Structure 1
Amino acid sequence: MSVGIDRRGFLKSAAALMGSLSIPSFVVNATTLPATGAPAVPIYEGWKDVYRAQWSWDKVVRSTHHLNCWFQAHCSWDVYVKDGLVYREEQAGEYEQVNPELPDYNPRGCQKGGCFSERMYDPTRITHPMRRVGPRGGGKWERVSWDEALTDIADTYLDVTVEEGTDRTIWDLGPGIDLGVSMAAQGRFSMLTQSIGLDMDGEIGDSRRGTLETFGKITFERSADDYFYSDLILFWGGNPVYTQIPQAHFFTEARYRGAEIISIAPDYNPSATKSDLWIPIKPGTDGALALAICHLIVEKGKVKEDFVKEQTDMPLLVRSDTNRYLKQADLVEGGREDFHMLWDAASDGLKEAPFRSLALEGLAPKLEVKTTVTLKDGQEVEVRSVFHRLRERLADYSPEKATEMCGVTPKMIKYLANRITSVDKVSNISQTSMCKYFHGNLTERSMALIFALTGNIGRRGAGFSGFPLLTPDGGDKFILSPTLKEVAQTFGKLEPLITQRLEAGDTHEMVVGDLGRMMFVPGNPLIRLPVWTSGTLFWQVHGGIQELSKNADQWNLGNARPLGEYLTESLEKGWQPLNPPRDKPPRIMISLCSNPLRRARGSEKLIEVLWPKLRKVVVMDWRINSTGRYADYILPVAPWYERTSLKWVTPLSPYLTITDKATEPLGESKTDWGIIVALSEMIQKRARARQITTVKSPQGLDVKLDSLYDDLTMQGEFKEGDDDKVARAIYDLGGTHKKLSWDELKEKGFARFEKLPEEPSSIGNMCEFPENDSIVPLTFHVRDKVPYPTSSRRIQFFVDHPFYDELDELLPRYKEPPMIGGDYPLMMTGGKTRWSIHSTWRDDSLMLRLEARPEPYMLVSMIDANARGVGDGDRIRVFNDIGSFKCLAKVSPSLRPGQTLMYHAWEQYQFQGPGDMNSVSPSPLNPVELAGGHPHLVAGVLQGQNSVFDRDSRIDFERADEQEVAA
């Protein structure tokens, strides 16, 4: 072979000569990509040189993948670079052992991260701006310059903003947001322009509503090594061996120490195979099982009374006439509405429950109370303690009655209750499965009740798991301040309010949490904030998805009146804020790290209803996803190895993990920061050319369009290309990491959190972050007696809101799964796939090789398949009253009859024919999630919003007609 040929010529010859010999993917894919410069041309004597080349490199950079792995991991990787290209990555194996007693965190990573060097150069990569030609979704594009694209987008933005309002521009924020440099750009843009960001937490089904109802927050979780201290681990509502690959070893290693793992799931999933006991259950009936366990705990006298009296609302009194808590304001003139009452056994009389602390301070609250009290107007009313009412409710959930609901035998229910009450430390996994069921809030409340009754909260190795999230707390300071010099001045405006609230008895957590709620109410006169709104509510109202639930009253949802009445009441009362309002259609949508046409349940409705309203749809991504196919512009984003940033993580792996730029962006790609900065510069330029200066937001705030670039970049201090500088500023402004400098962190790649972040999405963990031990959430509440951010200031099981009263959900209860989509015999359950993280890897060739099928498939039980004449690998049509789609059938012995399972994230274009898995999931709103006007049932960042429900979708399937398949 000639040694003088260029790379392209060599590869053509090598392909012919070597046949099936595998060439490194970075070499093959580089031939189809635009040159980034003029790297040295390697000289190869033969195939051995190609092989040896894999084991030489120019540099190694620490990086990670800024995607929503969430429960699974956020892992540091060694990224190998040669000739200006990334050609492989390896897991970083340098996580220090916390202490000799605990397993360490090495290695951290999975096959998805291990293939990104191939993914970033595959044929789906785009490297220059593209503009739609012809109708949306037509698949025809033309290459345009950045100047052309940004000028058109900027002019449309100015037209819309001046003519219709600042709130007509929508930022579709998806699971790829980093809460770092990318969000610093979007956050500053939204703050300065009062454009709207969509909170996707509820919209992807991660709302954890029942956790919010109980704890007043959703974000709290332990570090994964804390499971090593557990005596009993419940795999309940998740499949962590499948979906938490890097930390699955903590669960299995805990068994060496003597821990028992019990898996409760409808299907015999991979986690069940690693458990000591698998308890099969009917899908969506977990609440009945949980309440049966609670029934036994109470009836057998196994309640940890000291914990329950101090930490929960069980001793608090409730009026029987109104079904509302008894307050001090009910009893005396001038009494406070936030002072709750209990019955003190020591004095045998009414006392105010402790307010500033959970410490009982000499009180001896009674749990079993039923008596009468005299109100301030002389009226006598019956009052009962929450515990008294709870015992009455639990009477309906004996093991024998629960068996009829959930399918678990009385003997097994009693065994499980006995195991839970006979060990010291019980924990469960953190997942977001239950909240994807229509009545998942009730299930979460019922499960949390088990842990509260047994005192398994806030102790090492024990605890109910909330939603895991940690993020550095410098991002808010960077986003909200005019310049870095004015950070103290900006946040100083809040000091009087903070001081006033602390003096009134509110906690630091309550104050910080309310900052996240303020973002959902635009126009705050005290401090200018970015504006967010519920993604679920936005798609439902502005996107037309609510139209899919026009027959919802026939689906046995358990509502007391038509579903639409609850929505109208909530919107009219402002309980759930919707930005922009119902009568103001959005006009521009910019999709950042998102893919709503793949993700949203009932997403086809968005194309029909929302898309015609939008004058511009702009997708920022490094590939053309399902949403990109219907965009007007696709702006090429540099993926993670081509930029520097830092990102949120979770307490499960409490290490801030960064990306350090390994290579220059390919072609004309820009970072998220660079694109948003360039767009703001063009808006400013075009505004000046068109003599547009300042407009008013709907709430009266000034939006300065002719200085947008200057203001966003802090007068040029942070320009396009300054990603590293922005990341450094965010890091330095935060208080969570002080031991390493930014440069030291980039070299190492990760750093353990040193303290609790003081920002809305993370402060709920309420615990220390010890250097030499596991992280135990909620210890500030349990150990230090700090009140919870609920209306009762305790772990709360009684929710005194009119909607909850009307729907009989004042206390946890079981409601059978509804018939969403129609009266069909099968339930379509789902879960996170092992071979992808959302849709980013779903069409990756390497991941598809590992799949059971390289295209969309549904797992079906052998009995259900045989009854319909369907064999393994047959193409089936899945249908209900809402829609249909086609996929392959994977006949599985692990599924129970009546259950089907479809793993998530398949792109629309991977389905054969019209429709996809979202076509049969209308996801009706749950009325209680529309509640508001209540101290802790308020929409805020990541919580208090409506969720989506696909696990209750009812379907049937049939073998697809041969002619249909051929077509």
Structure 2
Amino acid sequence: MNISRRNFIKAGATGTAALGLSGSLFSKNWFQTAAAKEESKEKLAFTYHTTNCGGRCAFQCTVREGKLVKIVPNNWTDKRFSTVCLKGLSELERIYSPDRLQTPLKRVGERGEGKFVPISWDEALTTIANKLKELKSKHGGDSILFSCSSTVEYGYPFLPSLLGAQFAIESGIDIGLANGLEECIGGQAYGYVQNETSDWVNSRTIIYLGCNILETTLTDSKFFFKAKDAGAKIIVIDPTYTTTASKANQWIGIKPGTDAALLLGMISLILENNWYQQDYLVQNTSAPFLVREDNQQLLKVNDAAEGGEKNPYLVWDTNSGSARPFNAAGVKAQLEGKFTVNGIKVKTVFTSLKENQKQYTVKWASEKTEIPEEIIYGLTSDYATRGPAVLGWGFGGGDKWANSDVTGHAGAILGALTGNIGRVGGSVGNALYHGTSWSAKLGTWELPEQFKATPLQMTTQDFREKPNNVKAVINIGNTLQQHFANLSKTIDWIHTLDFVVTIDPFHNPSVNFSDIVLPASTSFESEYEIKNMQVNRSHVLLSQKVIEPFHKSKSDFQIEKELAAKLGLDQYLPKTPEEYQRARLNSDDPALKGITIEALIKNNGIMRLNVPDEPYRGFMDQKYDTPSTKLELYHEKMAEDHQALPTFDEPGEASSENSLSKKYPLQFSQAHTKYRVHSQFTNAKWINQIDQGPKLEINPKDAKSRGIQNGEIVEVFNDRGSFKAHCKLTEALRPGQIRLYEGWWTKHMVGGNLQNVTNDQFNPRQYKLRYGPVIPYNDTLVEVKKI
């Protein structure tokens, strides 16, 4: 039954039953409009949204007789952030959802059956504590893995250290493009753009590469349109005609999995037309560094040691006509050339780049990407010659391919060639979630020296088949469905574990594989007046208690505290969330000066950092977080993989050159949507009135050749498994491509789970990179048939 917001508000004690909701969920008339005499019972509370959509919308919440009845935007110092989207508004219904876990549960059936009996908190926590003690005693702390969803703000910061356990958060996810970019610029966490999105008004060209920002970061849409109004030419490159593409100046369709080919073709055009910034390359990048022709390593003062400022790389100094350290006084580095140094033949990185790029002509790029040559030429000219430019990508598209590191590397080189890194109006990287802004270094809560978490031994997906010591998983969120591809392999692994716990507010798919289930309260609920705090969008945000924990749920803080007590370790934890947040604010960072818990409460939970008013812009000093402090274009550790400079690599699976494509000719993507954040809000019934269930999108040409009509049930399958869903015919997708929005729970599908078919094969070379291998969810071949 559809539940409209109007009917839901009108529903009283009898109305909830009529709507098919459990009567025990609601106190009588909890949502009725209050009469004037009751208005004095209202209170306001201030919090923010903790989902990882990046919006971090701050809320003013109206509470009436202990129930949340209204959510509106809180007032930021920067009024542009005073927003809320449909996901935030839907929390009114979701908090009181029938999918809420109401009490701790114990499994009584087989794992995966979803058969449980209710138990007390004392029994649940005692069972967990005893099992963790046993496992640590027998196998060591590293036999316990905490697997946490990124939406859980209070991510159990103490128990992994107290137990010596391993901790993972989205291991192998959203890091494919960052792997290529960050090897060049140094660490910046998930490869976000260097400049804040509010700087886009200073850009002349903005390219969104597989980045559907108007769906996935709705609250940043104003910056998109302000940039467009200011004269920026906005170009969207995407296989699909997305919402963002519909509002751009130009949409360029591209063959899925060929993003790197396009960027390599653009590099060649920039080199051929001398559109590059020579002075920038000499002064700020490793382009003049010398590469040995015998072993493809960079020439250093001491070749037996790691390179860096203390053991500098060598350049060819035009003043002395010799090889000298790049950072020596008076050195004038030569950008191009081949030389002999102590009998060793060398050439500059820039010369190596030019040679490597000869194979990547515009004609080649056009054939690979199926983009006409003249379009690639115009795109490149716009990017390189119109002024400050942004090359921004997303997480849900080109990132989730086996060859995504090449794309990230090529993107960094494009930014370096055109001087668009460390420049007003420039940037390269992930453009979603307002991930770049002014920040501050928070303090910490110190644990005694003897307590240390075990560093994560491998990407979590590898725990399923590589030798390891993990016997128990504490699953916080829905990671068992959402953080692994190829679900059947995940299920096989789960069955080998000694113990599985899930902690979440909702009965998500991971719950069914658990031995003990703990009902966490939502981000609006707490036993304490102060809940959490974070630095976001150049502000400090404080989360206050809005309502008491619903049913028998407990906050994540309280769960960790009580479980630590069962383990005899609670004396090391803060007594309250407020004590923890005060410790975090105890920092000597000048950006936090004057920001206290009391001041935050007085300001309704929002205070701007003591930072400049203008947008944050990274690397304006041209000092990078790399061994040389330069923007490093050449990755010598990748030389044996032929990726010291970006070299095109076919997709791992979804390529026409793969013989498997004859059996499974369709490429399957999981796309992000404004209606959910990964698998969150899948059960939001107000939203589901608009987004009514999983729809497998397919081009009419592919549907016709398979005898499929719009709305029919189809099966998507490959050698890994299958799932069933209703289909939707759309011209927005290219022939040969199908799509299903990510995150749907198993119970919402006609049959199976979308992760039954997804590709889980890692690219071996990526183990050398900063974040390890990316899970190539979209690099997946399937076939579709009508049921």
Whether these two folds match at TM > 0.5 is: yes
User: Are 1:627 and 2:510 matched, yes or no?
Assistant: yes
Native 8 Å contact 2:176 2:401 kept in 1: no
Native 8 Å contact 2:652 2:779 kept in 1: yes
1:410-460 CA deviation, whole Å, 9 max, x = no partner? 111111111112222101335223321110010111122111101011122
Secondary structure, aligned partner of 1:827: strand
Amino acid at match of 1:209: N
1:926 equivalent in structure 2: 763
1:145 equivalent in structure 2: 120
Amino acid at match of 1:278: W
Offset of 1:473 from its aligned partner?
A: 6.1
1:291-690 matched pairs, under 5 angstroms: 291-330=264-303, 338-354=311-327, 362-374=330-342, 380-432=343-395, 433-466=397-430, 468=435, 477-478=444-445, 480-482=446-448, 529-533=452-456, 537-540=459-462, 542-544=463-465, 583-608=467-492, 610-643=493-526, 644-648=530-534, 653-684=537-568
Secondary structure, aligned partner of 2:208: strand
CA–CA separation in structure 2 for the residues paired with 1:946 and 1:421: 31
Offset of 1:308 from its aligned partner?
A: 0.8
Amino acid at match of 2:323: L
Native 8 Å contact 2:651 2:779 kept in 1: yes
User: Are 1:959 and 2:786 matched, yes or no?
Assistant: yes
CA–CA separation in structure 1 for the residues paired with 2:49 and 2:643: 41
Secondary structure, aligned partner of 1:627: helix
CA–CA separation in structure 2 for the residues paired with 1:109 and 1:430: 24
Amino acid at match of 1:395: K
CA–CA separation in structure 2 for the residues paired with 1:131 and 1:295: 61
Secondary structure, aligned partner of 2:80: coil
1:309-344 CA deviation, whole Å, 9 max, x = no partner? 122111000100011001111499x99983200001
Native 8 Å contact 1:57 1:80 kept in 2: no
Secondary structure, aligned partner of 1:23: helix
Native 8 Å contact 1:127 1:667 kept in 2: yes
Change beyond 3 A, Cα 1:426–1:149: same
Offset of 1:528 from its aligned partner?
A: 5.5
Native 8 Å contact 1:329 1:337 kept in 2: no
Correspondence for 1:289 among 248, 262, 286: 262
Offset of 1:366 from its aligned partner?
A: 0.9
Offset of 1:663 from its aligned partner?
A: 1.2
Amino acid at match of 1:835: Y
CA–CA separation in structure 2 for the residues paired with 1:75 and 1:597: 27
Offset of 1:43 from its aligned partner?
A: 11
User: Are 1:876 and 2:714 matched, yes or no?
Assistant: yes
1:589-626 CA deviation, whole Å, 9 max, x = no partner? 11123432244211221221x22332221111111111
Amino acid at match of 1:302: W
Correspondence for 1:62 among 39, 46, 52: 46
1:815 equivalent in structure 2: 649
2:68 equivalent in structure 1: 86
Secondary structure, aligned partner of 1:438: coil
1:155-234 matched pairs, under 5 angstroms: 155-178=130-153, 182-183=154-155, 186-203=156-173, 208-219=178-189, 220-221=192-193, 222-234=195-207
Correspondence for 1:806 among 637, 640, 651: 640
CA–CA separation in structure 1 for the residues paired with 2:150 and 2:267: 36
Change beyond 3 A, Cα 1:259–1:728: same
1:501 equivalent in structure 2: none
Offset of 1:24 from its aligned partner?
A: 4.4
User: Are 1:130 and 2:105 matched, yes or no?
Assistant: yes
1:343-363 CA deviation, whole Å, 9 max, x = no partner? 0122221110118xxxxx543
Change beyond 3 A, Cα 1:24–1:42: closer
Amino acid at match of 2:292: R
Amino acid at match of 2:375: M
Native 8 Å contact 1:293 1:413 kept in 2: yes
Native 8 Å contact 2:335 2:350 kept in 1: yes
CA–CA separation in structure 1 for the residues paired with 2:38 and 2:388: 49
Offset of 1:304 from its aligned partner?
A: 0.6
CA–CA separation in structure 1 for the residues paired with 2:309 and 2:283: 21
Secondary structure, aligned partner of 1:798: coil
Offset of 1:731 from its aligned partner?
A: 2.6
CA–CA separation in structure 2 for the residues paired with 1:477 and 1:874: 55
2:686 equivalent in structure 1: 846
Secondary structure, aligned partner of 2:90: helix
Secondary structure, aligned partner of 1:465: strand
1:695 equivalent in structure 2: none
Change beyond 3 A, Cα 1:827–1:288: same
Native 8 Å contact 1:238 1:431 kept in 2: yes
Secondary structure, aligned partner of 2:716: strand
Amino acid at match of 2:400: K
Change beyond 3 A, Cα 1:611–1:323: same
CA–CA separation in structure 2 for the residues paired with 1:282 and 1:216: 30
Native 8 Å contact 1:290 1:450 kept in 2: yes
Q: How high is the TM-score relative to the length of structure 1?
A: 0.74
Native 8 Å contact 1:828 1:952 kept in 2: yes
Change beyond 3 A, Cα 1:839–1:149: same
Offset of 1:205 from its aligned partner?
A: 5.4
1:835 equivalent in structure 2: 675
CA–CA separation in structure 1 for the residues paired with 2:85 and 2:30: 33
Where in structure 1 are there 5+ consecutive unaligned residues?
1-14, 98-103, 356-360, 375-379, 483-489, 491-526, 545-581, 685-707, 756-768, 932-936, 939-943, 961-967
User: Are 1:723 and 2:690 matched, yes or no?
Assistant: no
Offset of 1:223 from its aligned partner?
A: 2.3
1:259 equivalent in structure 2: 232
Offset of 1:301 from its aligned partner?
A: 1.2
Amino acid at match of 1:543: R
CA–CA separation in structure 2 for the residues paired with 1:146 and 1:734: 40
Change beyond 3 A, Cα 1:88–1:326: same
Native 8 Å contact 1:400 1:410 kept in 2: yes
Change beyond 3 A, Cα 1:120–1:336: closer
Tell me the matched-pair count.
763
Change beyond 3 A, Cα 1:194–1:837: same
CA–CA separation in structure 2 for the residues paired with 1:457 and 1:169: 42
Native 8 Å contact 2:144 2:165 kept in 1: yes
Secondary structure, aligned partner of 2:567: helix
Amino acid at match of 2:665: P
Secondary structure, aligned partner of 1:208: helix
The answer to which of 819-828 and 904-913 deviates more is 819-828
1:907-932 CA deviation, whole Å, 9 max, x = no partner? 1222223x32111113211112112x
1:99-126 CA deviation, whole Å, 9 max, x = no partner? xxxxx51432210011102101110112
Secondary structure, aligned partner of 2:783: strand
Change beyond 3 A, Cα 1:907–1:647: farther
Change beyond 3 A, Cα 1:24–1:388: farther
Native 8 Å contact 2:440 2:592 kept in 1: no
CA–CA separation in structure 1 for the residues paired with 2:10 and 2:288: 66
1:507 equivalent in structure 2: none
2:704 equivalent in structure 1: 866
1:191-228 CA deviation, whole Å, 9 max, x = no partner? 22211101324246567211222222243543221112
Amino acid at match of 1:108: T
Offset of 1:20 from its aligned partner?
A: 8.9
User: Are 1:901 and 2:744 matched, yes or no?
Assistant: no
Native 8 Å contact 1:338 1:791 kept in 2: no
